[in-house]
Amino acid sequence: MPKCKIIALTTPKPGQEKEFADWYQNVHLPEMTSFAGSQGAQRFQLVAKMMGADTNQFLAVYDIECDDPGAYLASVGAAAQSGKLTPGTWSQDETTYTALFVECGEYVKGVG
Protein backbone atom coordinates (compact mmCIF):
# COMPACT_ATOMS: atom_id res chain seq x y z
CA MET A 1 0.00 0.00 0.00
CA PRO A 2 1.55 3.35 -0.99
CA LYS A 3 2.63 5.76 1.71
CA CYS A 4 1.55 9.34 1.18
CA LYS A 5 2.06 12.69 2.86
CA ILE A 6 -0.21 15.68 2.85
CA ILE A 7 1.80 18.81 3.51
CA ALA A 8 0.10 21.98 4.73
CA LEU A 9 1.97 25.25 5.14
CA THR A 10 -0.02 27.88 7.01
CA THR A 11 0.14 31.22 8.80
CA PRO A 12 -2.43 32.45 11.32
CA LYS A 13 -4.13 35.80 10.88
CA PRO A 14 -2.50 38.51 13.01
CA GLY A 15 -3.91 38.52 16.52
CA GLN A 16 -5.53 35.09 16.08
CA GLU A 17 -2.49 32.91 16.75
CA LYS A 18 -3.92 31.24 19.87
CA GLU A 19 -7.27 30.43 18.24
CA PHE A 20 -5.46 29.10 15.16
CA ALA A 21 -3.17 26.84 17.22
CA ASP A 22 -6.05 25.54 19.35
CA TRP A 23 -8.28 24.77 16.35
CA TYR A 24 -5.45 23.16 14.39
CA GLN A 25 -4.18 20.94 17.19
CA ASN A 26 -7.43 20.07 18.96
CA VAL A 27 -10.02 20.09 16.16
CA HIS A 28 -8.47 19.90 12.69
CA LEU A 29 -5.78 17.26 13.27
CA PRO A 30 -8.17 14.88 15.09
CA GLU A 31 -10.78 15.31 12.35
CA MET A 32 -8.25 14.75 9.57
CA THR A 33 -6.79 11.67 11.24
CA SER A 34 -10.24 10.07 11.53
CA PHE A 35 -10.27 9.04 7.84
CA ALA A 36 -9.50 5.47 6.81
CA GLY A 37 -5.86 5.29 5.78
CA SER A 38 -4.71 8.08 8.07
CA GLN A 39 -1.72 7.05 10.17
CA GLY A 40 -1.35 10.32 12.08
CA ALA A 41 -0.36 13.95 11.79
CA GLN A 42 1.91 16.45 13.46
CA ARG A 43 2.45 20.23 13.44
CA PHE A 44 5.77 22.06 13.27
CA GLN A 45 6.79 25.71 13.67
CA LEU A 46 9.42 27.36 11.47
CA VAL A 47 12.73 27.95 13.23
CA ALA A 48 15.02 28.92 10.36
CA LYS A 49 14.36 29.52 6.67
CA MET A 50 17.09 27.95 4.55
CA MET A 51 15.91 28.86 1.05
CA GLY A 52 12.80 29.86 -0.85
CA ALA A 53 10.30 32.67 -0.62
CA ASP A 54 7.45 30.97 1.24
CA THR A 55 6.26 33.10 4.18
CA ASN A 56 4.27 30.47 6.10
CA GLN A 57 5.31 29.89 9.69
CA PHE A 58 3.69 26.50 10.34
CA LEU A 59 3.85 23.07 8.74
CA ALA A 60 1.54 20.11 9.25
CA VAL A 61 2.47 16.68 7.93
CA TYR A 62 -0.25 14.05 7.56
CA ASP A 63 0.87 10.43 7.15
CA ILE A 64 -1.46 8.36 4.98
CA GLU A 65 -1.40 4.81 3.62
CA CYS A 66 -3.99 4.10 0.94
CA ASP A 67 -4.36 2.29 -2.37
CA ASP A 68 -6.04 5.24 -4.09
CA PRO A 69 -4.82 8.72 -3.04
CA GLY A 70 -7.46 10.34 -5.26
CA ALA A 71 -10.24 8.49 -3.46
CA TYR A 72 -8.75 9.50 -0.13
CA LEU A 73 -8.80 13.17 -1.17
CA ALA A 74 -12.35 12.77 -2.49
CA SER A 75 -13.49 11.45 0.90
CA VAL A 76 -11.89 14.41 2.67
CA GLY A 77 -13.47 16.81 0.18
CA ALA A 78 -16.90 15.21 0.60
CA ALA A 79 -16.61 15.49 4.38
CA ALA A 80 -15.66 19.15 4.10
CA GLN A 81 -18.57 19.86 1.73
CA SER A 82 -21.06 18.10 3.99
CA GLY A 83 -19.98 20.03 7.09
CA LYS A 84 -18.30 17.06 8.80
CA LEU A 85 -15.03 19.00 9.01
CA THR A 86 -14.87 22.11 11.16
CA PRO A 87 -13.64 25.01 9.00
CA GLY A 88 -10.82 27.12 10.35
CA THR A 89 -11.16 30.85 9.95
CA TRP A 90 -7.91 31.86 11.60
CA SER A 91 -5.41 31.23 8.80
CA GLN A 92 -4.30 33.50 5.99
CA ASP A 93 -5.78 31.60 3.05
CA GLU A 94 -3.82 33.63 0.51
CA THR A 95 -0.53 32.11 1.74
CA THR A 96 -1.74 28.60 2.64
CA TYR A 97 -0.20 25.78 0.61
CA THR A 98 -1.42 22.18 0.70
CA ALA A 99 -0.35 19.25 -1.44
CA LEU A 100 -0.50 15.45 -1.53
CA PHE A 101 2.66 13.49 -2.21
CA VAL A 102 3.07 9.75 -2.88
CA GLU A 103 6.31 8.02 -2.02
CA CYS A 104 8.63 7.56 -4.97
CA GLY A 105 11.79 6.23 -3.36
CA GLU A 106 13.01 4.16 -0.46
CA TYR A 107 13.27 5.74 2.98
CA VAL A 108 16.88 6.64 3.78
CA LYS A 109 17.63 6.21 7.46
CA GLY A 110 20.11 8.45 9.27
CA VAL A 111 22.74 7.41 11.76
CA GLY A 112 20.67 8.99 14.53
Domain 3-102 has CATH 3.40.50.620: no
Q: What is the DSSP letter of 90?
A: S
pLDDT bracket for residue 112 (50, 70, 90):
confident
Mean pLDDT of 40-45: 98
Neighbouring CB atoms inside 10 A of 31's CB total: 15
Please state the domain extents for the chain.
Answer: 3-102
Q: How far is CA 25 from the centre of its chain?
A: 11
The pLDDT confidence band at residue 1, using thresholds 50, 70 and 90, is confident
| Amino acid residing at 4 | C
Closest CA to 38 of 30, 46, 49: 30
